């Protein structure tokens, strides 16, 4: 069977997919009675734009292609600031004005809530950043098999784009990362080949406290550190970057492509750094979950406090509490707070953070959400206030129904995924809860992600 040659089409972007790429549809004349539908995903485009594209295999039902030309550009189109943008997968919307991005994120939250039967008027305009650059306090870079350091290519997880800069990471983080990249090049160290499962260097994790200035560098490799190689690395980093307070080497031989450690080695400094938020101090290890955009994270906490209206006479549950990001500010304003989190190491950190901040009215429980709620209800009874901040997958129907049966007077739901937020909130309606407001907050400029803080009350209260 002869393969079809490429075909060129002119089409209009009518929407975006979940990854932030433009969506378009063309109808191919195949010489038969009915034309054939071809769905296109076109990165770096904006709804309303007219584009020309070339499709290599037009006989398929779906294709992902780059635009050959933007025939009619959106008024919101701008020139990308980063030289790596067209290929790097770290950002997807640098071609879009920041106000345009915020408008789209607000519209998306409204659409998802409306689909679940809520009033879109309850959704406020997304809160953006004054300066939407260099906002990330944590980055995970990947080594290519030839030792180059960078991020994955857009739409191609196997290819690594070598970076000379990164405009969404803290500037000092990038400087330190580039020094590690130069060290790897100087010694001609191999990167990890995911297909052959060979090579030394896998990932470089960099995290920084924008409050204390402390930086952690974590190098993930398939072997223990070589004495001479690590000595040179320590000398380079400690001589040039006094703000690096933790230089770690992690052994990871697992085939799974993620930053995990079978054994850790402190090359210099300590195995954690200090961070601060709203006056509270936190210890962060390499695998500690902490909000990636500290400036906007403070907005989340302030919004949650304003919506929750905690009282000194009240008991409270902080569900999916992590290391206590929300727990500590809330504990100062309630009688008793119980934090529930399934990750035991996070619970240990939460306990330590409470001690470091002289907070003594908290109890942290290492349990899954549903069983944790049951245990807390048996021991202290129903709380007046409940806050939850689940992962992207959401809390789920069983957990939300358990919350509904517990009947806290007020619920504040902090979400990093408006799609699961909408479905989770719907579960509370039969239990007598009313959604009062939803405030989107942009923690990740130039990406599709948006966080939300939502307020619910029990109507008969």
* Gyration radius of the chain over CA positions: 24
Element containing residue 306 per DSSP (H, E): helix 294-308
| End-to-end CA separation in angstroms for the chain | 70
Structure tokens at 379: 């021991």
The CA angle 150-153-158, to the nearest 5 degrees, is 90
Could you tell me the two tokens for 407? Answer: 């009947």
- Secondary structure letter of residue 87 according to DSSP: T
Residue 297: φ, ψ to 5°: -65, -35
220: tokens are: 């993930």
For residue 137, CA distances in Å to 122, 175, 268, 294 come to: 31, 13, 20, 7
Tracing tokens 């009874």 back to the chain, one arrives at 381
In the three-class reduction of DSSP (H, G, I as helix; E, B as strand; rest coil), residue 170 is classed as: coil
Q: Which of 82, 88, 166, 416 is catalytic?
A: 416
Q: How many CB atoms lie within 10 A of CB 411?
A: 26
- Between vectors from CA 104 to CA 98 and to CA 107, what angle results, nearest 5°? 145
Write the burial class of residue 2 (CB in 10 Å: 0-12 exposed, 13-18 middle, 19+ buried). Answer: exposed
Cα distance between residue 415 and residue 440, in whole Å: 9
Length of the chain counted residue by residue = 461
**DSSP per-residue letters across 32-53:** SSSPEEEEEEESS--TT-EEEE
Annotation says 452 is catalytic: no
State the Cα–Cα distance between residues 263 and 397, nearest whole angstrom.
37
For 223-246, give the secondary structure using H, E and C: CCCCHHHHHHHHHHHHHHCCCEEE
State how far the Cα of 198 lies from the Cα of 146, in Å rounded to an integer: 11
Strand 263-269 versus strand 244-251 pairing type? antiparallel
What tokens were used for 222?
């398939």
Distance CA 320, CA 240 (A): 39
- Please list the active-site residues: 416
């Amino acid at each position: 069977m002869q393969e079809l040659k490429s075909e060129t089409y002119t089409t209009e972007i009518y929407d975006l997919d979940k990854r932030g790429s433009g969506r378009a549809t063309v109808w191919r004349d195949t010489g038969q009675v009915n034309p054939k539908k071809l769905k296109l995903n076109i990165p770096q485009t904006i709804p309303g734009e007219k584009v020309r594209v070339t499709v290599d295999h037009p006989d398929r039902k779906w294709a992902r292609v780059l635009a050959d030309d933007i025939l009619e550009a959106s008024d919101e189109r701008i020139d990308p600031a980063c030289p790596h943008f067209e290929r790097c997968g770290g950002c997807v919307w640098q071609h879009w004005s920041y106000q345009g991005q915020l408008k789209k994120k607000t519209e998306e939250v409204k659409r998802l809530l409306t689909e679940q039967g809520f009033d879109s008027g309850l959704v406020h305009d997304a809160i953006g950043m004054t300066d939407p650059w260099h906002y990330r306090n944590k980055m995970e870079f990947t080594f290519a098999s030839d030792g180059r350091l960078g991020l994955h290519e857009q739409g191609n997880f196997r290819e690594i784009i070598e970076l000379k800069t990164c405009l969404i990471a803290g500037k000092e983080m990038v400087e330190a990362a580039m020094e590690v990249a130069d060290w790897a090049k100087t010694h001609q160290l191999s990167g990890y080949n995911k297909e052959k499962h060979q090579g030394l260097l896998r990932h470089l994790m960099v995290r920084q406290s924008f409050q204390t200035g402390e930086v952690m560098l974590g190098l993930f490799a398939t072997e223990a550190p070589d004495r001479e190689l690590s000595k040179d690395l320590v000398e380079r980093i400690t001589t040039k970057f006094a703000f690096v307070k933790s230089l770690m080497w992690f052994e990871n031989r697992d085939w799974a492509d993620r930053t995990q450690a079978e054994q850790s080695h402190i090359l210099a400094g300590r195995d954690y750094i200090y961070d601060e938020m709203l006056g509270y101090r936190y210890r962060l290890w390499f695998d500690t979950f902490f909000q990636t955009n500290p400036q906007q994270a403070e907005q989340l906490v302030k919004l949650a406090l304003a919506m929750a209206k905690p009282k000194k006479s009240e008991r409270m549950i902080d569900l999916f509490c992590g290391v206590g990001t929300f727990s500590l500010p809330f504990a100062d304003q309630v009688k008793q707070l119980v934090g529930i989190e399934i990750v035991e190491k996070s619970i240990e950190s939460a306990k330590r953070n409470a001690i470091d901040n002289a907070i003594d009215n908290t109890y942290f429980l290492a349990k899954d959400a549903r069983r944790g709620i049951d245990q807390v209800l048996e021991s202290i009874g129903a709380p007046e206030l409940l806050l939850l901040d689940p992962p992207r997958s959401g809390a789920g129907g069983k957990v939300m129904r358990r919350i509904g049966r517990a009947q806290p007077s007020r619920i504040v739901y902090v979400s990093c995924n408006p799609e699961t937020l909408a479905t989770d909130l719907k579960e509370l309606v039969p239990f007598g809860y009313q959604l009062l407001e939803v405030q989107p907050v942009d923690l990740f400029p130039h990406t599709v992600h948006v966080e939300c803080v939502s307020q619910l009350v029990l109507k008969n209260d």
